[in-house]
Structure formats: C-alpha cells, structure tokens
Amino acid sequence: MSSGYDVGMTASAPTPRTGVAFLLAQLGAHAAGLFADRIAGLDLTPAQAGLLRMLAAAPGRSQRELAGDLGMPPSRFVPFADELEERGLIERRRNASDRRVYALHLTGKGEALLAELAQAGMAHEQQLCDALTDEERDRLLVLLRRMADQQGLRPDVHPGYRNLRPKPKP
Amino acid sequence: MSSGYDVGMTASAPTPRTGVAFLLAQLGAHAAGLFADRIAGLDLTPAQAGLLRMLAAAPGRSQRELAGDLGMPPSRFVPFADELEERGLIERRRNASDRRVYALHLTGKGEALLAELAQAGMAHEQQLCDALTDEERDRLLVLLRRMADQQGLRPDVHPGYRNLRPKPKP
DNA sequence: TATTGTTATACTCTATAACTATA
DNA sequence: TATAGTTATAGAGTATAACAATA
C-alpha cells in the first residue's frame, strides 16, 4: 500500500487521535449532537434550551444582555425570542422606569418544559457516561472542571450554540 | 432579587454546569476554537487540516470517499479541494484503470505544511492541558478514550468540522 | 444503467446597518 | 446624543438536483 511520497517526517500524522485536545473536540461535538437530537423531541434547539435555563437562573434580564451571553447579535435575538414567546414559554415585560427595555421571564409553561428538559439532561448524561463507573465519572468531573476553570470558561452559559440547528425529518 | 414566578421545581436549572456532558461540550467547543485560531496562522481551516492529515495517513483515495469522511457532500468537496490544489498542497492524479476517479495525494509542499501543523498541534495540546500534571493527563486520556470507544467514535477523522470557518481580520 | 466528478440553482442563515421609541 | 429593540437588505454558504464523462 502507501504509494508515492514520503518526505522526511511524514509518519502517522501530527497528534490527532492521540491527544486530549482531539478527544475533547470529538466527544464534545458528539455530546452536543446527541443532546440536540434528544431535545428535538421537545421541539427545542440547544440555544432555546440555553435561554430557558438562563431565564430560570436569572430572570428579568434585557434582550441585549441575553443575546450577548448566547453569542448572537441583538437583531438575531428578536425573532429567536419571538418564537418562544408565541409558544407561550417566555414573556416580555416592559420596564416601568425605562420603557425601552424588556425584562424577559419564564412563564408557567416554560417552567414546566424546563422540568422535562432536566430529565432529558439526566438521561443524556447517563448515555454519555455509560462506559464509566461512578467513581471514574467523579474523577473525570474533577479534571474537566479544573481544565475549564483554568481556561477561563464561565461555569454556566453556552458551550457551542451558534451553529446548531434542528434536523429535518425524512 | 429574583422577582416573579417559582412553580414547584424551579431551582437552579437542570444539570448544566454540573455534568460531564456539558463540560465536554463546553471544553470541546473551546478546544476546537483555539485550534482553529492557531492554524489560521498557517492559512488553514480545521477541515483543511483534517484533509491533509487524512491524505498523509491514507494517500490516493477518491474525492467521494474523502468527502464522506469529512461529512460534506461531494459537490462541496470540489471547490474545497480546488483551493488546496491551487495552493500546491495537494495533487489530483487520474486513475489509469478507471478514468472517472481522481486519486488525491499530498505534494512535497503539503508534507512540509503538515509538519508545521504537527508542531501547532503539540502546542495546542499543552495549552489545553496546562492545569493538569502529566499523570493526570494520562488518566484523563484513558477515560476519554474509553468513552469515545464506547460511543462508537472512530479513532481518527473529524470531530466537528462542518461549521468552522476562518475568522475575518479586523 | 450506474458511478465519479462537476456545475447550477435555489434556499437558508447571518450580520450590517438603517430605523423607532425612549431616555 | 445615546441606547433598547426592531426591521430590511444584501451577502455568504449550503444542499439538491441536474449534467458530462466514463464504466
């Protein structure tokens, strides 16, 4: 096999499969994809789920703040929030003292969906950690938390929303 | 703080920050982003780097095969390969026995760039594992490999190419 | 007739930049 | 004048499907 070429240090590719970095990227994309598929059953995209969680954690923030945390421009946030509002999951409330801003809140229906989301999240976690014992999972958690911390990643809020869209149903 | 609502199990969001799944997605996206930034200095996108590595590991494959492994339709692969060919990094060779297919190969220049890519990959790995001792990194590697294996992820080939484009330079 | 590589087209998404209403 | 939200528009990127050459 292996026809032509071989200039000096060809060898078996750089450091791809071997390294932690590659495995993290691979597993991370895999995890995000599985999660997207799972919550598609709730008619939610990862970004929508992210907003619901953010509103539960800190209600009443402005659209611009939320858009910033989700990594999207305000202009894109508007139709994004529109859909969730039309579905009765979130609510825009005018601020009396500054009538330019909307304070965003979860509705009762939104809270209920968030509970379903929690269950989906737990099942997702189990599916992903199926190859690990409980003790191993704990040790993994410690290491990953330390890495995330040292890399300056915020404890909550957006992994790689941005480019995840729902899949068509063939 | 924390105005309105609180329907039963509101609490502090589902299982986001806590779980392995979320941390993997977060760290994975972070790692992919850092790597993209780094190799942008070599005028390469992650997908381009992926193709170079694939050609080093298994030269002479057809465009359709490669496109499939990269997760892109053949129609998209054509201009993708065109650019790399114009830059003199890869080479299309007609198959004499079946003149429909092109066998793709790295050029000498491509091999040289691959060596630079290897260095970038090693620096990337170090940057990401900065918070870990060597022993911890080894233990992490064992756990991640086992997870990836059990999840059916192929040992090499594409993490989350697809949606990673180069950034504009402001 | 089936398959490789290629081109063309139509569609989705996105960011940029105007616009309005409040301040 | 500056800022929150909104709308409009134009551009990039994509997949789908048609096409040509070869089998």
Q: Say which residue, A169 or B46, is predicted with more confidence.
A: B46
Q: What is the pLDDT of residue B34?
A: 93
Q: What is the pLDDT of residue B83?
A: 96
- As a whole number, mean pLDDT of residues A134-144 equals 98
Q: What is the pLDDT of residue A149?
A: 95
**Would the pLDDT of A120 be above 80?**
yes
Distance separating alpha carbons of residues B128 and A1, to the nearest angstrom: 36
Task: Report residue B16's pLDDT band, with 50, 70 and 90 as the boundaries.
Answer: low
Which of B15-29, B97-111, B154-168 is predicted least confidently?
Answer: B154-168
Over residues A105-115, the pLDDT tens digits come to 999 999 999 99
CB A92 within 7 Å, strand D = yes
**Would the pLDDT of A125 be above 90?**
yes
**Would the pLDDT of A12 be above 50?**
no
**Would the pLDDT of B115 be above 60?**
yes
**A37: its two tokens:** 């598929």
Q: What is the pLDDT of residue A154?
A: 81
Please say whether the beta carbons of B15 and A116 come within 8 A: no
AA identity, residue B110: G
Q: How far is the CA of B166 from the C1' of C15 (A)?
A: 15
AA identity, residue B94: R
Give how far Cα A120 sits from Cα of A39, A40, A41, A57, A126, Å: 7, 11, 10, 18, 10
Select B20-163's CATH number: 1.10.10.10, 1.25.40.10, 3.60.10.10, 3.50.50.60: 1.10.10.10
Distance separating alpha carbons of residues A149 and B96, to the nearest angstrom: 55
The tally of CA atoms less than 13 A away on the side-chain side of residue B91 is 15
Task: Report residue B154's pLDDT band, with 50, 70 and 90 as the boundaries.
Answer: confident
**Would the pLDDT of A165 be above 80?**
no
pTM over 0.95: no
Mention every residue, 6+ apart, whose C-beta is less than 8 A from residue A109.
A87, A88, A89
Name which of B51, B116, B144 to mutate to probe chain A: the one with the most chain A Cβ atoms within 10 A of its Cβ: B144
Q: Does A30 touch chain B (CB under 8 A)?
A: yes
Q: Where is A45: in which H helix or E strand?
A: none
**SS3 string of B38-100?**
HHHCCCCCHHHHHHHHHHHHCCCCCHHHHHHHHCCCHHHHHHHHHHHHHCCCEEEEECCCCCC
Q: In whole angstroms, what separates CA A48 from the centre of its chain? A: 9
| End-to-end CA, chain B | 40
Instruction: Scan residues 62-91 of A and list those with Cβ closer than 8 Å to B.
Output: none
**Would the pLDDT of B77 be above 60?**
yes
Query: What percentage of chain A exceeds 70 in pLDDT?
Result: 81
Q: In whole angstroms, what separates CA A4 from the centre of its chain? A: 44
Query: What percentage of chain B exceeds 70 in pLDDT?
Result: 81
Task: Report residue B22's pLDDT band, with 50, 70 and 90 as the boundaries.
Answer: very high
8-state DSSP, A151: T
Nearest-CA residue to the C1' of D20?
B100
CB B154 within 7 Å, strand D = no
Q: Say which residue, B44 or B162, is predicted with more confidence.
A: B44
Over residues A47-83, the pLDDT tens digits come to 999 999 999 999 999 999 999 999 999 999 999 999 9
Q: What is the pLDDT of residue B155?
A: 76
Distance separating alpha carbons of residues A157 and A49, to the nearest angstrom: 11
Find, among A114, A17, A153, the residue nearest to B53 by Cα: A17
